[in-house]
Amino acid sequence: MKKIIYILIGAVLVSLQLSCTKNEATWIEDPNYKIESDECLFAIYPVAAAVPAEGGEVEFTITGNDDWTIEIGEVNTAKKDWCVLDKTSGSGKTTVKARVNQSTSFVKNRSMVFLVSNGQKTLKAKVVQGLLTLADDEVLINGLIWANRNVGMPGKFADDIDDIGMCYQFNRKVAWEGGKANPDFVAAVNSYVPSEGDDWVTNAWTQENNPCPEGWRVPTGQEICDLLGDSEANLKAVSVNGTAANGFKRRGYIVGVDPSIAAGLTKENVTASGALFIPQAGWLNEYGNWDRDWLVVLRTATSLNKNMGGMFLSSWGYTDAWGWGDGQKVRAAPVRCVKILEIED
């Protein structure tokens, strides 16, 4: 009988040794600082983790032999799905992964506290996310991130900030070279007849036809009007000529900064100054001719009706914000993209 009892006690001891190891040293983040942890105790580490603005995955380790649950505690944003755990309950020592989506703020660090409970004790762990920073080719204006160049071939930006780039018809992803006549364009136009339910008939540029690089989109008419102005009286742009002094190879608009600053900017410092250069371009018309090359023209993702709209037109002394007269969808014009970001509170 005693022999059986000894065997049972031994089995329990072995079981305890397998489930946790006492006083095992755990290295956290910096190897210069060693934190002693007892894996038999109910605990979570690290107690706080930092995630960069682009998002990523962090791991938390729960120790002990208890059954536990996790719930969301304090969050400093209205949205709560930006950080998602792969487990919300478990038993014993477990690694829990937290997946964090890309930040959407330049001014607010997102944070979320998780409450880990074994029914008797509640522990806290926190995730803090860094702020967005602008890339060298991005400019923040009116709460939107704008590319500093027009679109080139589908999925790519033009090589230079004063390049016209490639030209696009409304809600089509086919690129046409700007700045010269193209007789092939006539055949492409004549072979395509819009009809009910067709992509040209829609009032918005659809994602499947988006020519912008991944993570970018064609701006709406309102967004372009907010950037450049909706009339000549409300024009928010400063006109500049292409000169040896400023380095621009063609005429265009500078937007996003005070006019007194815009007038002195050059090709080298315009982006770093928080401004955009929009080159004078024109469009490819339905006859395959390069037309209206005295205009600053941008396609918008908003149309007026089945045939008209979807272009912002402006020049010195003239601005047509919505393209009522000259915004036919069949014409091809340059595109300037904005970054796809969900604006947070």
Residue 312 CA to residue 224 CA, distance in Å, equals: 7
Phi, psi for residue 112 in degrees, rounded to 5: -145, 135
Q: How confident is the model at residue 336 (pLDDT cuts 50, 70, 90)?
A: very high
pTM of the model: 0.71
Residue 158 predicted with pLDDT over 80 = yes
User: What is the identity of the amino acid at 84?
Assistant: V
Q: Where are the alpha helices (DSSP H) in 126-195?
A: 183-190
User: Region 236-255: what's the mean pLDDT?
Assistant: 94
Placement of tokens 């930040």 in the chain: 103
pLDDT recorded at residue 12: 37
DSSP string, 89-101: EEESSEEEEEEEP
Lowest mean pLDDT among 72-76, 173-177, 246-250, 326-330: 326-330
DSSP 327: -
217: closest CA among 310, 340, 342? 340
C-alpha distances in Å from residue 256, one per residue of 6, 147, 328, 334: 82, 13, 28, 19
User: Region 192-202: what's the mean pLDDT?
Assistant: 58
C-alpha distances in Å from residue 8, one per residue of 1, 19, 27, 153, 241: 11, 17, 35, 74, 91
Lowest mean pLDDT among 33-37, 146-150, 222-226, 284-288: 33-37
pLDDT recorded at residue 33: 46
pLDDT recorded at residue 197: 53
